[in-house]
Structure 1
Amino acid sequence: MKKIRVMITGIAGKMGQELVRTVAQQKDMLLVAGCDISQVGKDAGEMCGIDAIGVIIEMDLGVTLREVRPDVVCDFTYGEALRKNLPLYLENRVNMVIGTTGLTPEELKKLEDECQQREIGCLVAPNFAIGAVLMMQFAQKASQYMERAEIIEFHHPQKKDAPSGTAIKTAEGIIEAKDRAYEEKSFELLPGSRGGRLGTVNIHSVRLSGFVASQEVIFGGEGQTLTIRHDSLSRVSFMPGVLLAIRKIAKNKHFYYGLDKIMKL
């Protein structure tokens, strides 16, 4: 059986390390390379607490891509790093699974066009947890029956962007299902106390130690409220979704935004 040759960019980060441990256990995958700006020169397996796997962490992304020629590269870095990495992925025509958030709608459309022109498979997902995808689906359905919604998202302090990509995609789904005019009647004594706003949906971002990734979507209606919540208690929760994406992108030269696009929902 031909194995999927996987490369991880941002391999020394928490998501990268979890993915090393996960890919190492898959019979149909082989980790062939990893890049980062830290832990350079170390064995990827030993770095994340398992046995040595013979994959040495590199710093030069362009050279590594040309020498290794992976089937799929997984990028779990941060917005500015991803913007520098994308031209190299496209130049080397490597299929991409991107968990890094922060790209604008315009940047996503440009990436989609580039992938289609070069026949490159790409999946960009703000959240790889299956439960989070279901939460977004349920929220979109509920929005058809409830008056309006607000979102509260909770992440660890190291998360660089706010609001999260998951919160934005959830709000977009709610707006798509039912976007009606809403007049904000409250007055902010402290600017920003009502959070940010996308369409009719207010989004509040919490950054505290102890959280991995959680989100509440709170709906209000006549005499009732409805709360839909998802909690990722560890980064293990993201791995089934990442594996699903790798297997899909290795065989399909299409562009997908959101894990839901490849799930049977």
Structure 2
Amino acid sequence: MTTSAKIRVCVAGATGWAASALCQALVQTDDLLLVAAISRKHAGDNLQEVLSLDTPTPVPIFATVEEALQIPCDVFFDYTAPDIAKHHVITALRHQLHVVVGTSGLTDDDYREIEQVATEQQRAVLAVGNFAISVVLLNKFSEIAARYMPQWEIIDYASDKKPDSPSGSALELANRLAKVGQPAYTIPVEATQGYKATRGATINHTQVHSVRLPGYVIALESIFGQESEKLILKHEAGTSAVPYVKGALLAIRQVHTLTGLKRGLDQVMTF
């Protein structure tokens, strides 16, 4: 990839809610070029027509990653589902592409496998649980809080239609907090009297609770406590996909500066 050439992008899950907004933005840029898309539902169609993209260039839609990657590109962006995302990412890496992952639900084991392939191929995977700048800030502030307040838990909220639980944002936050330390619960979860499941799932030593109800879009909350005081940090999303587009474009533009697996949009941001 030269500095003067446009960065060629393939988007998997291109007709989804967030990905379609990203595709609309991609064709408005001067430095990025949307060259291919993956959508099993619209395979064989032209994304330009499906999304009414303001571009004269056709964007073919394929059913599989293997078909899509026959078209040369530089960055593979995955906005699909966890049951197929790992295959997409590993296939793209083995095609010598850099990868941005926006898909929720991939596990730490999935990412360990992905990291191994990325390192072998000397390519980058930037996994972002949430591209909204407010979530990046929540993660950063939470890491600071965990250094000074000994107990914390995470709550993630989403619509009743969201199939994965917890969200990718919650998983990323739990992963980050684990690098700071472990919460010192007064009563260990295993010593809970009654129904231990009400204490949530233990993920990287942090209790994570997921709410899935109509009326919610996406929200993420980290709660920190110590004697006689508490701190609540919360991100709430509206119904528009706009907050995720700016961060996704930044990830696409900067992923080539990395090597191996990196988690979080802050990996390509300056603080």
TM-score (norm 1): 0.89
**Contact between 1:98 and 1:125, CA under 8 Å: does it hold in 2?**
yes
Determine whether 1:57 maps to 2:71: no
**Contact between 2:98 and 2:255, CA under 8 Å: does it hold in 1?**
yes
The equivalent residue for 2:96 is 93
**Contact between 2:156 and 2:210, CA under 8 Å: does it hold in 1?**
yes
Determine whether 1:192 maps to 2:190: no
**Contact between 1:212 and 1:235, CA under 8 Å: does it hold in 2?**
no
Determine whether 1:161 maps to 2:161: no
The equivalent residue for 1:205 is 210
Identity over aligned residues, as a percent? 31
Deviation at 1:257, TM superposition (A): 1.9
Deviation readout 1:53-101 (Å, 9 max, x if unpaired): 51132213212202x1111110111111113323421332121111113
SS at match of 1:113: helix
Deviation at 1:150, TM superposition (A): 1.6
**Contact between 2:36 and 2:59, CA under 8 Å: does it hold in 1?**
yes
Deviation at 1:181, TM superposition (A): 3.9
Q: In structure 1, what is the Cα distance between the partners aligned to 2:256 and 2:7?
A: 7
The equivalent residue for 1:243 is 249
Q: In structure 1, what is the Cα distance between the partners aligned to 2:66 and 2:151?
A: 47
**Contact between 1:20 and 1:44, CA under 8 Å: does it hold in 2?**
no
Q: Hey, which bits of structure 1, 4+ residues long, moved more than 6 A?
A: none
Deviation at 1:11, TM superposition (A): 0.8
The equivalent residue for 1:69 is 72
The alpha-carbon distance between structure 1 residues 188 and 51, as it changes in their structure 2 partners (threshold 3 A), is farther
Deviation at 1:108, TM superposition (A): 1.5
Where structure 2 has 5 or more consecutive residues not aligned to the other structure, the ranges are none
Aligned positions, number: 263
SS at match of 1:206: strand
Q: After superposition, where does 1:82-231 map in structure 2 within 5 Å?
A: 82-182=85-185, 183-184=187-188, 186-189=192-195, 192-231=197-236
**Contact between 1:4 and 1:250, CA under 8 Å: does it hold in 2?**
no
**Contact between 2:9 and 2:35, CA under 8 Å: does it hold in 1?**
yes
| Two-structure CA RMSD over aligned residues (Å) | 2.1
Letter in 1 for 2:266: D
Letter in 1 for 2:223: I
Deviation readout 1:87-136 (Å, 9 max, x if unpaired): 42133212111111333323322222212222222211212112101101
